[in-house]
Structure 1
Amino acid sequence: MRTVTAKWAPTVSRSHTVYTDVYAWYGDTLTALVPITAGQVVFDVTAKGRRRCQLTVPLYSDGTRWDPGSDPAHPLATFGQRLNIYSGVRHLDGSLELLNMGWYLITATATDEQEGTVTVTGSDMFQKMEEARIISNPWGGFGTTYTYADVVERMTYVGLKNPFLDDPAILPFTITGLTNRSLAGSVEADEQGERTATLDTLCAAWPAQMAVNDTGALQFSRPVTAPAAQAVARIVGGTPTATLVSRGRQTSRQRIYNAVYAIGTDPATGEQRAYGAAEKTAGPLSIRGPNGWVSRWYSSPLLLNNAQAQAAANTLLAKGTLYTRTEEVTAVPDPSLELNDTVDVTTEAAGTFRGLISSITLPLTSSGGPMTLTVTNETGDA
């Protein structure tokens, strides 16, 4: 959950107005405060680039034409221009509290002169990582003399002789809550290859999750595989201060597996040198129950010993059972909520469901209506 003041919860539990500021940047230069008449940001934990935005901008406002036309330096052009979006509320005392919704690479603009609007589409800054293939890699594969942090640093840009060395959108990265250790085997980073493929290999074996955070930095952190013991927010229906509009639930066998076997291989011989197994042996997803055996195998030269293989298997199993039950929740807009936040969804008829937020669609104007959340967990009621 994003950090907010004590005034936040009482405000969002009442009828309130949504406020949004959109700042356009070109390189290191702030070029404009962009007016919007409608818009939304979408966060999705299942996507590599976890955030997207779509904004409706008036074609003319205060003497400014917001159609970029053929001007590559226009604030809304698609030549590396970025948007930094803040959204929030005005409290009863008149103060405004805005929260950083992150940075977005402008990927498309569409002008409708009859409607007098410009539609701007933006994507997570992770797209720049995917687009920037490795041009030159003097190291070839990374072996046991490198640590995980070393490879992250080189895959983000250091020493790869790429033409974006001065691009602030690529450089920053943070590593939080992870043990930095030497590689147990070789990781390939081929010239002309995707740098994100190497990073995916690292994350699976570390184990770690990789995502661009609100500041625009590529963040590596512990995978979130289960709700926390305490919810950061309660989304409640049927009360005078209700924040819940509606809820619906579904369950599915898709993407579910209940057994994982992780194998570490010797990079020189290909022989197995580490093994870990994680299985559901109790509950409705038990491998010995009616659900049956749904297995996944994972192999990596980065798994040096059984302990590392077991950690990888445990993490993958937790991910494999996380989406058993899903609730689609329509609620009052709350920009403080983030992906992987633990929330309680409560109504008198359906009880309480505690789960992780796996997607958010947040309106950026009051006319955009409520927000929608996807809340998911293996278990039933908390």
Structure 2
Amino acid sequence: MRPVSDRWAATIASSHAIETSVFASLGDELLTMVPIIGGTITYDVTARGRRRCQIAVPLRAEGRTWDPGSDPAHPLAAYGQRLHISTGVKHPGGATESLDQGRFLITSTRTDEVEGVVTVTGSDLMQLMQECRVVGNPWGGFGINTTYQEVIDHLSYVGLKNWWVEDPQILFYSFAPGMVDRNIGAPMDIPERTDRMEPLETLCAAWPADMSVNDSGYLEFRPPVTKPAAQAVARIAGEATGTLITRGRTQARQRVYNDVIARGTDPATGEQRALGIANKATGPLSIFGPYGWITRWYDSPLLTTNAQAQKTAQTLLARGLLYALTEEVTAVPNPALELNDTVDVVTATGGTFRGLISSITLPLSASGGPMTLTVTTETGDT
């Protein structure tokens, strides 16, 4: 959960105004503040680029036209321009508390002259990593003594096709507390035309780590979240003074597995040299029960020991069990909430459901209606 003041919870639960600001930039150059009619930010923990935005801008406002037309330098053109979005609340007494929601690469702009609206769509800066494939690789890959950080150093260059040239468009990254750098321990082949996200995802599975772009626009590596925390950071309740509007539950077998076999393979021969097995042996999702035996296989050349393969198997199993039970919640917009926050959803009929936030749709104006959340956990025994 983003840091907030002591006044935040009381203001969210009462009538309040929403304050949103949007700035457009091109590289390091701040272009202008952008007036908006409304918009949304969508967060999804299962996507490579976890945040997307869409804003509606008046065609003409503040003495200028917001249709970029054929001008590649216009603040809303899709030639590398970015949006910096913050949103928050106005407390009683008039003070505004605003929270950073991230940087977004403009991916498309659509103008409706009849309605007088320019619709701008953007994605987080992971888009740069996805689009920029590896070209001009002088080494072919990395040796066994290369560290995780050194691999990330090379793969985070997204502005030039040759990754060994200093370039101001590096997507900066950070390691959260708990992440320890080490040698990759096995050769890692990076052929030309490789999607540079694939080797990074391979690193994360072997580490293990969670990779995403944070509010500051930095690529961030942090320990994976595989279950709800012991304490919730927020309570979304359905009382008369609460913040919950509706809730509904879903149980499904899709994306759920209760057994993982993680193998370390020799990159030259493909032969197995490390093995880890993890499964759910108790509870409603047990492999020995009526749920059945659903296995996921995972092979990686970076799993060089049985202990490492076992840790990877346990992490993948925990992630695979998370989607057995989900709740779809609509609530008063709260821009302090983030993906992987643990929340309690509470109503008199449904009781308390504690789970992780796996998706958020956040309106950027009061007219945008409520916030939508998906909250997920392993079983209903919370």
Query: Same-fold call, TM > 0.5?
Result: yes
| Pairwise CA distance, 1:164 | 9.3
Q: 2:39–2:365: 8 Å Cα contact kept in structure 1?
A: yes
Closer/same/farther in 2, CA of residues 193 and 361 from structure 1, 3 Å limit: same
Q: Under a length normalisation based on structure 2, what TM-score does the superposition of the two structures give?
A: 0.97
Q: 1:56–1:120: 8 Å Cα contact kept in structure 2?
A: yes
CA distance in 1, matches of 2:122, 2:164: 23
| 175-184 vs 302-311, which moves further | 175-184
| Pairwise CA distance, 1:379 | 2.1
**Where does 1:57-96 land on structure 2 (aligned, <5 Å)?**
57-96=57-96
| Pairwise CA distance, 1:195 | 0.9
Q: 1:27–1:167: 8 Å Cα contact kept in structure 2?
A: no
Q: Please give the secondary structure, in 2, of the residue aligned with 1:254.
A: coil
Q: For residue 302 of structure 1, what is the aligned residue in structure 2?
A: 302
CA distance in 1, matches of 2:136, 2:175: 25
CA distance in 2, matches of 1:164, 1:38: 41
| Pairwise CA distance, 1:310 | 0.5
1:244 aligns with 2:244: yes
Q: 2:145–2:185: 8 Å Cα contact kept in structure 1?
A: no
Q: Please give the secondary structure, in 2, of the residue aligned with 1:119.
A: strand
| 106-115 vs 156-165, which moves further | 156-165
Q: For residue 203 of structure 2, what is the aligned residue in structure 1?
A: 202
CA distance in 2, matches of 1:271, 1:361: 45
Q: Please give the secondary structure, in 2, of the residue aligned with 1:118.
A: strand
1:232 aligns with 2:236: no
- RMSD of aligned alpha carbons: 1.5
**Where does 1:27-46 land on structure 2 (aligned, <5 Å)?**
27-46=27-46
Structure 2 spans left out of the alignment, 5+ residues: none
1:372 aligns with 2:372: yes
Q: Please give the secondary structure, in 1, of the residue aligned with 2:153.
A: helix
Which digits, 9 at most, give the CA deviation of each residue in 1:177-221, with x for residues without a partner? Answer: 222111121222111221111111111111111111100001111
1:218 aligns with 2:253: no
Closer/same/farther in 2, CA of residues 327 and 356 from structure 1, 3 Å limit: same
Q: 1:106–1:122: 8 Å Cα contact kept in structure 2?
A: yes
Q: For residue 363 of structure 2, what is the aligned residue in structure 1?
A: 363
| 328-337 vs 296-305, which moves further | 296-305
Q: For residue 175 of structure 2, what is the aligned residue in structure 1?
A: 175
Q: 2:284–2:379: 8 Å Cα contact kept in structure 1?
A: no
Q: Under a length normalisation based on structure 1, what TM-score does the superposition of the two structures give?
A: 0.97
| Pairwise CA distance, 1:151 | 0.4
| Pairwise CA distance, 1:162 | 5.1
- How many residue pairs get aligned? The number is 380
CA distance in 2, matches of 1:213, 1:42: 14
Q: Please give the secondary structure, in 2, of the residue aligned with 1:299.
A: strand
Q: 1:154–1:160: 8 Å Cα contact kept in structure 2?
A: no
| Pairwise CA distance, 1:167 | 4.4
Q: Please give the secondary structure, in 2, of the residue aligned with 1:275.
A: strand
Which digits, 9 at most, give the CA deviation of each residue in 1:79-137, with x for residues without a partner? Answer: 00000000000011211111000010001111111111101111111011111111211
Q: For residue 190 of structure 1, what is the aligned residue in structure 2?
A: 191
Q: For residue 311 of structure 2, what is the aligned residue in structure 1?
A: 311
1:149 aligns with 2:149: yes
Closer/same/farther in 2, CA of residues 214 and 313 from structure 1, 3 Å limit: same
| Pairwise CA distance, 1:165 | 5.3
Q: Please give the secondary structure, in 2, of the residue aligned with 1:20.
A: strand
Which digits, 9 at most, give the CA deviation of each residue in 1:239-283, with x for residues without a partner? Answer: 3x2100000011000111100011112334433221111010000
Structure 1 spans left out of the alignment, 5+ residues: none
CA distance in 2, matches of 1:11, 1:318: 36
Q: 1:87–1:100: 8 Å Cα contact kept in structure 2?
A: yes
Q: Please give the secondary structure, in 1, of the residue aligned with 2:86.
A: strand
Q: Please give the secondary structure, in 2, of the residue aligned with 1:133.
A: coil
> Identity over aligned residues, as a percent?
60
Closer/same/farther in 2, CA of residues 58 and 163 from structure 1, 3 Å limit: farther
| Pairwise CA distance, 1:166 | 4.1
Which digits, 9 at most, give the CA deviation of each residue in 1:149-187, with x for residues without a partner? Answer: 11011111299625995444x420112222211112122
Q: 1:354–1:381: 8 Å Cα contact kept in structure 2?
A: no
Q: For residue 346 of structure 2, what is the aligned residue in structure 1?
A: 346
1:134 aligns with 2:134: yes
Q: Please give the secondary structure, in 2, of the residue aligned with 1:185.
A: coil
| 142-151 vs 66-75, which moves further | 142-151
Q: 1:207–1:222: 8 Å Cα contact kept in structure 2?
A: yes
CA distance in 1, matches of 2:123, 2:136: 26
